[in-house]
């Protein structure tokens, strides 16, 4: 068992998480509220994962009127309460290093990267996220999103990323990925401000009560 200790003192098995070990109220919400996005590289303070999820959740509800999409967005990063926020540049760097290491060891050609390092790293990380997500969604009393709905969630994630970058981060020294640069604006009242972690946790829990009323522990 490879496990981590949560805020409430539970042993959370990272390779085989159990629904009974997911405490959305005392572990997930507070951990997301205390965890900063962008590896903390926001000049004005710590912009939390919880606030990101709340603002995107509200935006999706405003745009679509669908409570299920709001619930899925609220929980789309919930696994980061257990495995942390691995930024996209860090994931890409690790992916590249694993690939190069395997090429050196095996003599694999560049054309073999998809079969070796890249697929292995991404599959391992994806497996950890999926197993956590399955337990979290079950604990929240909701089903997993369909592929089509997952695309909507992903699109809002990119839109939130662009809004956060433009409103909170330093001026980009280079363009970001085209999918971010071309993302549609997010409907919100005014500009983003950074919430204290206690407010972020409270707002996240409030949305959980609204959109996941059957969640364990409510």
> How high is the pLDDT of residue 116?
47
Q: Is 66 helix (H, G, I), strand (E, B) or coil?
A: coil
Nearest alpha-carbon partner for 129 in 19, 17, 27: 17
For residue 202, give the DSSP letter. H
Which residues does 187 contact at the CB level (< 8 Å), separation at least 6? 59, 62, 63
Instruction: List the chain domain ranges.
Output: 3-95+136-211
pLDDT tens-digit profile of 176-205?
A: 999 999 999 998 888 999 999 999 999 999
Nearest alpha-carbon partner for 125 in 156, 82, 162: 82
Q: Rounded to whole angstroms, how far apart are CA atoms 129 and 132? A: 5
Average pLDDT on 98-117 reads 58
> How high is the pLDDT of residue 121?
81
For residues 118-143, one letter each, b for 16 or more C-beta atoms within 10 angstroms of the residue's C-beta and e for the rest, the string is beebeeeeeebbebbbebbbbbbebe
pLDDT tens-digit profile of 39-95?
A: 999 999 999 999 999 999 999 999 999 999 999 999 999 999 999 999 999 988 888
Q: Note whether 194 and 168 are within 8 A (CB).
A: yes
105 has pLDDT over 60:
no
For residue 170, give the DSSP letter. P
Q: For residue 96, name the pLDDT band (cuts at 50, 70, 90).
A: confident
* Helix, strand and coil in the chain, % to nearest 5: 60, 5, 35
Distances (CA, A) of 60 to 10, 11, 41, 102: 33, 34, 26, 42
> How high is the pLDDT of residue 102?
62
> How high is the pLDDT of residue 80?
98
pLDDT tens-digit profile of 156-182?
A: 999 999 999 999 999 999 999 999 999
Q: Rounded to whole angstroms, how far apart are CA atoms 102 and 5? A: 33
147 has pLDDT over 60:
yes
> How high is the pLDDT of residue 197?
98
Q: Which of 49-63, 106-120, 135-149 has the lowest mean pLDDT?
A: 106-120
The CATH number of the domain covering residues in 3-95+136-211: 1.10.3210.10
> How high is the pLDDT of residue 189?
85
> How high is the pLDDT of residue 100?
75
31 has pLDDT over 70:
yes
> How high is the pLDDT of residue 181?
96
Q: Rounded to whole angstroms, how far apart are CA atoms 133 and 156? A: 18
Q: What pTM value is reported for the model? A: 0.91
> How high is the pLDDT of residue 184?
96
Task: Count the alpha carbons within 13 Å of 70 in the hemisphere toward its beta carbon.
Answer: 22
Nearest alpha-carbon partner for 140 in 58, 89, 81: 81
Average pLDDT on 14-21 reads 96
């Amino acid at each position: 068992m490879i496990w981590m200790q949560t805020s409430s003192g539970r042993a959370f098995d990272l390779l085989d998480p159990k629904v009974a070990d997911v405490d959305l109220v005392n572990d997930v919400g507070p951990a997301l509220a205390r965890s900063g996005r962008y590896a903390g590289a926001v000049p004005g303070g710590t912009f939390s994962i919880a606030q990101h999820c709340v603002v995107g959740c509200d935006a999706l509800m405003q745009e679509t009127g669908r409570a299920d999409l709001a619930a899925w967005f609220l929980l789309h990063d919930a696994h980061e309460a257990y495995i942390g926020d691995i930024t996209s540049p860090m994931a890409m760097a690790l992916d590249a290093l694993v690939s190069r290491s395997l090429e050196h060891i095996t003599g694999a050609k560049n054309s073999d990267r998809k079969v070796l390092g890249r697929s292995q790293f991404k599959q391992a990380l994806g497996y950890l996220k999926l197993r956590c997500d399955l337990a979290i969604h079950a604990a929240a009393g909701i089903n997993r999103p369909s592929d089509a709905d997952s695309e909507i969630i992903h699109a809002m994630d990119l839109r939130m990323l662009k809004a956060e970058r433009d409103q909170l981060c330093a001026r980009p020294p280079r363009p970001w990925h085209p999918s971010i640069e071309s993302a549609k604006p997010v409907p919100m009242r005014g500009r983003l401000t950074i919430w204290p972690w206690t407010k972020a946790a409270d707002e996240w829990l409030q949305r959980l009560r609204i959109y996941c009323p059957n969640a364990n522990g409510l």
